[in-house]
């Protein structure tokens, strides 16, 4: 796959690989997504807006330059801006791959960090020299102002130009609680949302504080995804129940949506609305209870995102998908192409869905 290295959320030549419930692969233009779904289906998206979570500054005790990446929070409430988990890097910036970034100075509980107008204190280390719990000083309004003005979106070495906040906000971005963009949502624009409605396909949202996708540190990356709070609105629960009653499918737009829905639905009873904290890992052994399909970016084997796809499809199908993406030069990473993956085996008996015909080739 090729790295998508320009921050264009909806390039006109973006593509969609469709892997249907029978394991058949087809290529489509990405704006065909509504035509690859069925009337009665429900698309559920993550409407979190992305914080400028990269904060540069100084570790006061050592005088060393640091980059602090906010990476975790304990509450979905937008007002909860005092305490975060964070990954700390030493000198350098996004032009250096995270894998090659130096460690920060030795961090100890009580250490002060000066991050532009923000003052923070290290509360504790979280089992790794880069990973800390920190607490900002000041009022919530002052902290938000400091983050809004001093912070920058977390940058990617594979994207050539610095990302601005508007590059990483999806069209539906609402509450600013995500640390990296819920980038599967880049596929959406208001025209597509209108087209979903025209085709009798439902659209609903939840808010999930999407965490960082990679730290460049193998030990830390093995701990991803961190715990992520989410909010499942009552209106979305109702839309899901209505969809299921009528035999439609729940199509999760992005791995964060799968994680939130499956956490909420883990009990197997009626889906509860309200806040929750997704703590689980999803993989080949996970029994999906809510999501019938996922629309996601194209992920490299080995990542936690790729691992999650194992809940939807067999290893052999995922290998065929990876092969098709590779052979057809799909673009990967946040601004890359998309995959629509339908769950191969459905626990619930559903009427056969015959999506609108796609003018695309079989692989």
Partner 1 sequence: MSKRHDSLEGLRVAITGGTSGLGLALVETLRARGAAVAFVARNGARVAEVARAIPGAHGIAGDVASKDDIHPIALQLTGALGGLDVLINNASTLGPVPLALLADTECEEFEAALRTNVLGPFRLTKALLGALASAARSGRPALVINIISDAAINAYAGWGAYGASKASLAHLSRIWDVELRPQGVHVIAVDPGDMDTPMHAAALPDADRASLKRPSDAAREIVALIEAHGKEAARAAREHAEPASA
- 233 forms part of the interface with partner 1 (CB under 8 A): yes
Q: How many chain residues interact with partner 1 (CB under 8 A)?
A: 39
- 246 forms part of the interface with partner 1 (CB under 8 A): no
DSSP element (H, E) containing 60: none
Name the token pair of 282. 């999803």
As measured in angstroms, the least distance from the Cβ of 231 to partner 1 is: 10
In the region spanning residues 81 to 120, those forming contacts with partner 1, defined by CB under 8 A, are: 81
- 237 forms part of the interface with partner 1 (CB under 8 A): no
Q: Which is nearer to partner 1, 52 or 265 (CB)?
A: 52
Among 109, 140, 283, 351, binds partner 1 (CB under 8 A): 140
- 173 forms part of the interface with partner 1 (CB under 8 A): yes
Between strands 202-208 and 42-46, the pairing is parallel
Give the max Cα distance, the chain. Answer: 64
Rounded Cα–Cα distance for residues 15 and 197 (Å)? 22
From residue 276 to residue 295, the character string flagging contacts with partner 1 as x (rule: CB under 8 A) and all else as - is --------------------
Calculate the alpha carbon distances from 137 to 68, 120, 147, 209 in Å.
Answer: 15, 6, 12, 22
As measured in angstroms, the least distance from the Cβ of 296 to partner 1 is: 20
Rounded Cα–Cα distance for residues 308 and 266 (Å)? 15
* Backbone torsions φ then ψ of 319, nearest 5 degrees: -65, -40
Rounded Cα–Cα distance for residues 12 and 303 (Å)? 27
Q: Which is nearer to partner 1, 52 or 229 (CB)?
A: 52
- 138 forms part of the interface with partner 1 (CB under 8 A): no
Name the token pair of 102. 């130096």
- 149 forms part of the interface with partner 1 (CB under 8 A): yes
Q: Which is nearer to partner 1, 48 or 88 (CB)?
A: 48
Q: Which is nearer to partner 1, 175 or 363 (CB)?
A: 175
DSSP 91: S
DSSP 196: H
Name the token pair of 349. 């008996």
Which region among 84-92, 144-152, 252-260, 339-347 touches partner 1 (by CB under 8 A)? Answer: 144-152
- 175 forms part of the interface with partner 1 (CB under 8 A): yes
DSSP 186: G
Number of Cβ atoms within 10 Å of the Cβ of 45: 27
From residue 53 to residue 82, the character string flagging contacts with partner 1 as x (rule: CB under 8 A) and all else as - is ------------------------xxx-x-
From residue 19 to residue 58, the character string flagging contacts with partner 1 as x (rule: CB under 8 A) and all else as - is ----------------------------x-x-xx------
H runs (alpha helix) in the chain: 33-36, 140-150, 165-168, 190-198, 218-221, 234-245, 255-264, 304-309, 315-327
Rg of the chain on CA atoms, in Å: 20
As measured in angstroms, the least distance from the Cβ of 340 to partner 1 is: 23
Rounded Cα–Cα distance for residues 261 and 237 (Å)? 10
- 235 forms part of the interface with partner 1 (CB under 8 A): yes
As measured in angstroms, the least distance from the Cβ of 177 to partner 1 is: 8
From residue 189 to residue 208, the character string flagging contacts with partner 1 as x (rule: CB under 8 A) and all else as - is -x--xx--x------xx-x-
- 171 forms part of the interface with partner 1 (CB under 8 A): yes
Name residue, tokens 């003052």: 119
Interface contacts to partner 1, rule CB under 8 A: 47, 49, 51-52, 77-79, 81, 140-141, 144-145, 147-149, 164-166, 169-176, 190, 193-194, 197, 204-205, 207, 233-236, 238, 242
């Amino acid at each position: 796959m090729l790295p998508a290295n320009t921050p264009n959320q909806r390039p006109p030549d973006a593509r969609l690989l469709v892997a249907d419930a029978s394991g058949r692969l087809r290529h489509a233009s990405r704006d065909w997504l509504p035509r690859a779904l069925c009337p009665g289906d429900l698309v559920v998206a993550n409407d979190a807006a992305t914080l400028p979570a990269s904060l540069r500054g100084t570790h006061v005790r050592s005088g060393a330059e640091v980059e602090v990446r906010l990476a975790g929070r304990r509450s979905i409430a937008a007002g909860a801006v005092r305490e975060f988990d964070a990954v700390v890097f030493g000198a350098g910036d996004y032009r250096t791959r995270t894998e090659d970034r130096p460690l920060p100075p030795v961090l100890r509980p009580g250490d002060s960090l000066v991050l532009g107008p923000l003052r923070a204190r290290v509360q504790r280390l979280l089992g790794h020299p880069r990973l800390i719990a920190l607490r900002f000083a000041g009022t919530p309004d002052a902290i938000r102002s400091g983050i809004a003005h001093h912070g920058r979106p977390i940058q990617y070495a594979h994207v050539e130009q610095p990302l601005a906040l508007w590059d990483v906000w999806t069209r539906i971005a609402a509450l600013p609680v995500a640390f990296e963009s819920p980038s599967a949502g880049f596929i959406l624009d208001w025209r597509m949302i209108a087209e979903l409605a025209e085709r009798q396909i439902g659209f609903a949202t939840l808010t999930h504080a999407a965490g960082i996708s990679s730290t460049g540190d193998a030990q830390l990356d093995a701990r991803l995804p961190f715990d992520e709070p989410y909010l499942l609105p009552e209106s979305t629960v109702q839309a899901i129940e209505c969809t299921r009653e009528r035999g439609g499918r729940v199509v999760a737009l992005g791995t964060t949506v799968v994680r939130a829905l499956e956490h909420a639905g883990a009990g197997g009873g009626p889906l509860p609305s309200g806040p929750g904290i997704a703590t689980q890992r999803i993989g080949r052994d996970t029994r999906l209870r809510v999501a019938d399909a996922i629309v996601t970016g194209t992920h490299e084997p080995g990542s936690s995102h790729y691992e999650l796809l194992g809940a939807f499809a067999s290893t052999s199908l995922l290998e065929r998908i990876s092969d098709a993406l590779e052979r057809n030069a799909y673009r990967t990473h946040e601004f890359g192409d998309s995959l629509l993956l339908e769950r191969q085996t459905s626990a619930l008996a559903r009427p056969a869905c015959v999506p609108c015909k796609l003018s695309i080739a079989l692989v």
